[in-house]
Amino acid sequence: MSKRAETPNVYGVETEYSAMFTLPGDKTYEIVGKCHSIDEPLGLYKEPKSKGTDHIDRSSITDVLEDMGLYSNPSGMLSNGGRFYIDPSGPEYATPETSTAEEAVHRVFDGDDIMLDLFGRLRESGVLQDFQLNRRIVDHNRTSRGIHLNNTTSLPADIPSVIVMSALATLNVAKGAMFGSGGLLINDRGKTDFHHSPRLSITSITGATYQNYQQRPLVRYPFKEDGELARVETVTSDALSFAWPLRASLVITNSLLRVIEQDENTDFPILRNPVKAAHIVGQYGYKNQIAVYRENEKHEGEKPLNILKEICEIVLDANEELEVLDDEAKQVLPEIIDVADRMSDNPESVANQVESVARMIAMRKKMGKEGVKLYSEKMCRFDYAWDWIGGGIAETLRNKNVVGWQGFKTKHSPRTADKRRNSPPVDTRAKIRGDLIQERAGDVDIDWSGTDRIYLHPLDTVLE
Contacts of 149 (CB under 8 A, 6+ apart): 11, 13, 233, 234, 237, 249, 250, 253
pLDDT in tens, 35-54: 655 445 545 555 555 554 56
Q: Which of 212, 256, 234, 265 is nearest to 148 (CA)?
A: 234
pLDDT in tens, 350-381: 999 999 999 999 999 999 999 999 999 899 99
What pLDDT shows up at residue 214? 84
More confident residue, 5 or 150: 150
Q: Whole-angstrom Cα distance, residue 255 to residue 327?
A: 11
More confident residue, 27 or 400: 400
Q: Are strands 217-221 and 18-23 parallel, antiparallel or unpaired?
A: unpaired
Most confident of 52-61, 94-103, 293-302: 94-103
For the whole model, what pTM was predicted? 0.95
Residue pair 233/220 in contact (Cβ under 8 Å)? The answer is yes
pLDDT in tens, 249-292: 999 999 999 999 999 999 999 999 999 999 999 999 999 999 99
Q: Which range, of 22-31, 105-114, 349-358, 408-417, averages the lowest pLDDT?
A: 22-31
| pLDDT above 90: residue 22 | no
Q: What percent of the chain has pLDDT over 90?
A: 80
Task: Please report which confidence band the pLDDT of residue 318 belongs to, taking 50, 70 and 90 as the band edges.
Answer: very high
| pLDDT above 90: residue 312 | yes
Q: Whole-angstrom Cα distance, residue 355 to residue 199?
A: 14
What pLDDT shows up at residue 24? 83
| pLDDT above 70: residue 382 | yes
